[in-house]
Structure 1
């Protein structure tokens, strides 16, 4: 008899039992009899989780007096091991297994062979179904598969009949209901608290047994067709994949999506009498059990890909294709996902989204760039998410420390919220400085500007009182688009940004994509993957080679700024000729618009970003051509130290207050004196209080930083005497230590100046 036929025979009889008016215990008693008869098994028993223990609920072949008496802990004996590991056991001699424990009250001493399968509900074991024989023999594959299918039906009966309590019906042990701390990699710093919401909500299977097998088969066929269409179109989606790995991931997905073996196993499960949803879940359970036995990390990753694909198929067949964003966030939320694309993140209500936890994720992922702009804390590389976090669990996210506390104890939650409240109090104090101009104690005006990249970011300009936008990252629109953004879309965005800014300046940085910010619609033009993407084909290098891209953006900016002042900044300029070539593109588009009698910007200010150290050696050639110069400290630091900032081992190794960085920055500042060029810093360095002190001490008067840092830096500026600070910096840099951090901290302490 085939596995499907054996399971079908059992399910046919189980359907009658389920439909009967018997109470739950009576149904379980009938179930063990049916399974025993159909599999010609001398013993069939059902153990269910109750009060944290596995309890014998029904049996055929063991002593009836043991029912509701025999109990064992999770992990205890063969039955406990099955529940703990959520795996199948098939033994010719049970007593030879190291986990075997003899229970005299059951009368099982005469039985040798043993097979057991977990009864799984919501991915966790809530019980065990097992069979035993007197003779020594391993059960055949058809018998094991029949048991596994039956266990799935039992999970529905158990849940509906409330045979285990609510927590245990959700498959949770005491450890899984208590507080847990998860560690991860800090991707975006910050604090957040809220209820756990999965980006892709789990499909609840409400009907296990099929009424019409052919109808279920057709549902699966249609779902497979739709899923394969989705996978085939994923190559053109900007949010698909991570970095340059999307092609490899896509090929793996395609391999599984078109795998006949996988679809055949689902078909066989339908043949046994399961609905389409239950059949997919049945095969998925088998996959999860196999995953637990895999030591090879590469193979384990491929099995995870198959699980992702099965979840996609399950959502399609159940008609639940949307993510949690489509359902709307109802309260403060910590979003849980394996990975996330930037466009997907932008779909969520920013007012409700308080943090993100990723099972994977990397420092260079597009979603991290967007999350940082949204000021949403994120941690990645978090293990054990799906087995620890339930939908709706309270989570305290400390992304700065790279940790998340799940289901915290009251005293822990109180301490966290007190810390959070103190942080908000500080923010409120900073917000009160919104309309205060940042003058130092000696009367020098410091320009404090903010960085932005999204249309929504512009609301922070009025909230913080920033002097303008010192860096508008135009690449965000390119990162979240499936295709190259059309000129009309770009123009509309830039015009909206300028409208929101009013009289305050906005410095638009031309698109910085390529390298670690790869987009699929340019992938075909990259012959080989850059070994060092940050130093590869990106930013201005890419834009000058992709002349059409640069022309479209130039025209869009010029049209959007008609009748106003336009500030344009070119990123990653390495030599003066690159600036000349980029400006020539704008001049050409300006001449075209003038010939078309179009309204033009009143004035255009061209600037460059100093990120490549080589540019510092030719500033005398470049400065006469510039209106302003901005130093991008994030990239500059990694280029000066030859240290990839995306590498966690190097991220904190090189200090922004090291003499080498500060001497370099001072030399750049001094070389610009008398040129008439406005010079400033944009990057995280200027948003940290000690680092901002150092920058002011070596001559910098314009800082462009994250909106959240504007208030703290404005407050800092008002406590500083520049003459005193500059003299101290000159002395420290003349005879430096490894880092100026200790000396600058002591200087700030002596003047009661707070720092990070």
Structure 2
């Protein structure tokens, strides 16, 4: 059997001759199917091309010639349609056994059993399919599939040059779409934005696929790699967020990929097969992209997106087509559109003009989302078929709060959105004036309002909001954006910077909460182990206690950073009292070690726990006396109480925070900790919503830790509430709860002049 390189090179050599001939496009396609069939010893080779929205049989060797330009399949129909729709490869020993198999009698294919097909891709869109078939049932060898994939790249060039496909099919941007449209996606970063569509345009149109001089192509790639690595190193040193920040650690992941020998080796192998430097990079990128679609692990998928970003950068360098929207400069208020986006690419844009980002993919754990949140740029992800519905320059209204984008909106919609935008700015300005207003209820009760944070760049929000402190600092962010385990010195520097920025206001550091949907590439399960339900698996304190070296390093970093100050430490996902005791013992052992080293220690260390697992509520009488404070994590607590994955789209809106089950559970926790004088705080999204915050006040909770944007609205709410009135009302509701408690609380608020919108 030929190697993949030799097989592809043999086919490319013949195809080069075909493409150089003066024959017409149809004659070339007819010859190409013969070349592929002969070199792969295949009884059937067929080429389907996308025209007028259908996959049309353009050329075949082995099937009935009368079927050419007659057999047509819709995208998604049959095996060929499935390949085009999913942009994936199929390799089947028995074609008819596949659930998407569709028989076409006019082709005469009933005697052929085996089937393999690969998409013909141009500008990230499938514009056709090349397929081979055999009478005997067999799966095709990997070298044959790789040869087909290389051939598909050559076909993409031929198709473009011969104008065999309508331009709108190639580009995926139909010119006739001029009317208003509404797209729905997933909120990744909240906020509103108005601007014109600007495509990030990381892709490069490859003009030449077949190499004239293999060694010359290899040298072009080597030079491009050197230049790309220089760019990444320079970007890390010039990042606007400052040296030593979390965003520098994001770029460390880029360095790891940029210097990966396996990636460069695969590109070299593609060049050996006879491809140009551009085509080789694209060939490896297509293969990676197809594999990405089979990855269920969200973290691995995100790391693949980082590699995609670097592939695009390398392709632009080697081709000399360096004109991205960032390098060309934004001409006005812009909303950036991309299939996906790397954090390094986002940092290149002018923040004054970049108003929002829309991604065809994207996820809440992606690096670019962490960066965008720090930059204050709203992001909506998971918006499918963007290029088929948006044109460059289209006006867009991006509602990051609802995950909705209005494309080419009607004037009336623009007017309404701008009025809402203006009202939102007025509200923000009004809330900003409340910075120095203390959150005191109508009957004189002082409520503690703190903010949640996780990045060094969140710290300016503390004085801007006038919050009482940081009730939750998520230390895991530093771990998530780092390519390797953060060193103790780096951790210490971050924690010290946070404490200094907070001044006299308290900061509660939650020890690292990793695992679940926060998987670290450098902290893996044992070989072969996977988690079917990671949210309830090996995560948070469970990881820290098993990998106690991780917790020891963090403990020492926090203790050293808090020298001369009070240190507030909170352990996440405590399930039983002994876990709290074990975690506290790790800290106390580090205190003893540092005392022997004559180090300056914190004035005091206050230890707390997060109540996220309902089981802990059964042991509060045991644990509460040992705690300085207890924080309720409403996000995880809710999903565990209802056995409902909070990320599941069908369950996201099914269970209400104001349900009797949640309210009664929280009321019980308030009662159980009261005799011990343990400070009780609610951390999470629930406390940042006005109606929910009203209910929490009614339950007797007087400490909230919320997002910075919610501080002003919650302060305003507190000033409208008589604590005695809402508590008496809540006692009655809990005794005889109604099914729709949200309506009940809302009506009560309206009757008492409390604005809960």
> TM-score, normalization: structure 2?
0.71
Q: Distance in 2 between matches of 1:559 and 1:753?
A: 46
C-alpha displacement of 1:386: 3.8
1:551 alignment partner in structure 2 = 552
1:89 alignment partner in structure 2 = 58
2:741 alignment partner in structure 1 = 740
Q: Distance in 1 between matches of 2:393 and 2:728?
A: 56
Distance 1:217 1:642, change over 3 A: same
- The C-alpha deviation readout for 1:499-553, integer Å capped at 9, x for no partner, is 1111111111111111221111110447622222122121111111211111111
Secondary structure class of the residue paired with 1:671: helix
2:23 alignment partner in structure 1 = 35
C-alpha displacement of 1:36: 4.3
- The C-alpha deviation readout for 1:437-491, integer Å capped at 9, x for no partner, is 1111111111111000000001111111111111000000001111111011001
C-alpha displacement of 1:633: 0.9
Distance 1:740 1:41, change over 3 A: closer
Q: Distance in 1 between matches of 2:698 and 2:590?
A: 41
Q: Distance in 2 between matches of 1:308 and 1:366?
A: 8
Q: Distance in 2 between matches of 1:307 and 1:679?
A: 41
1:473 alignment partner in structure 2 = 474
> TM-score, normalization: structure 1?
0.71
Alignment of 1:305-384 (within 5 A): 315-319=313-317, 330=330, 332-338=333-339, 354-362=355-363, 376-384=377-385
Distance 1:655 1:353, change over 3 A: farther
Gaps of 5+ in 2: 1-8, 31-46, 74-106, 108-118, 128-147, 230-247, 252-256
1:22 alignment partner in structure 2 = none
Distance 1:353 1:632, change over 3 A: farther
C-alpha contact 2:515 2:539 (8 A) present in aligned 1 = yes
C-alpha displacement of 1:175: 3.3
C-alpha contact 1:7 1:145 (8 A) present in aligned 2 = no
Matched, 1:490 2:491: yes
C-alpha contact 2:309 2:341 (8 A) present in aligned 1 = no
Distance 1:298 1:88, change over 3 A: farther
C-alpha displacement of 1:358: 3.5
C-alpha contact 1:356 1:377 (8 A) present in aligned 2 = yes
C-alpha contact 2:670 2:700 (8 A) present in aligned 1 = yes
1:427 alignment partner in structure 2 = 428
Distance 1:315 1:440, change over 3 A: closer
Q: Distance in 2 between matches of 1:89 and 1:308?
A: 37
Alignment of 1:643-662 (within 5 A): 643-662=644-663
Q: Distance in 1 between matches of 2:48 and 2:531?
A: 52
Q: Distance in 2 between matches of 1:588 and 1:152?
A: 68
C-alpha displacement of 1:93: 3.8
Q: Distance in 2 between matches of 1:383 and 1:84?
A: 18
Which is worse superposed, 658-667 or 321-330? Answer: 321-330
Q: Distance in 1 between matches of 2:523 and 2:356?
A: 31
Secondary structure class of the residue paired with 1:647: coil
Q: Distance in 2 between matches of 1:144 and 1:638?
A: 47
Gaps of 5+ in 1: 14-33, 43-77, 101-112, 127-140, 159-163, 230-236, 241-249
C-alpha displacement of 1:146: 8.2
Q: Distance in 1 between matches of 2:301 and 2:554?
A: 43
C-alpha contact 1:3 1:146 (8 A) present in aligned 2 = no
- The C-alpha deviation readout for 1:325-352, integer Å capped at 9, x for no partner, is 9859856554545456788878877766
Q: Distance in 2 between matches of 1:539 and 1:40?
A: 60
Q: Distance in 2 between matches of 1:304 and 1:520?
A: 11
C-alpha contact 2:56 2:72 (8 A) present in aligned 1 = no
Distance 1:749 1:413, change over 3 A: same
C-alpha displacement of 1:739: 3.1
Distance 1:462 1:514, change over 3 A: same
Larger Rg: 1
Secondary structure class of the residue paired with 1:511: coil
C-alpha displacement of 1:400: 3.5
Secondary structure class of the residue paired with 1:648: coil
Q: Distance in 2 between matches of 1:287 and 1:572?
A: 36
Q: Distance in 1 between matches of 2:353 and 2:585?
A: 45
Q: Distance in 2 between matches of 1:334 and 1:438?
A: 37
Distance 1:304 1:673, change over 3 A: closer
Alignment of 1:432-511 (within 5 A): 432-511=433-512
C-alpha contact 1:280 1:310 (8 A) present in aligned 2 = no
Distance 1:474 1:523, change over 3 A: same
C-alpha displacement of 1:171: 7.1
1:514 alignment partner in structure 2 = 515
Alignment of 1:112-123 (within 5 A): none
Which is worse superposed, 637-646 or 431-440? Answer: 637-646
C-alpha displacement of 1:195: 4.6
Secondary structure class of the residue paired with 1:175: coil
C-alpha displacement of 1:721: 0.7
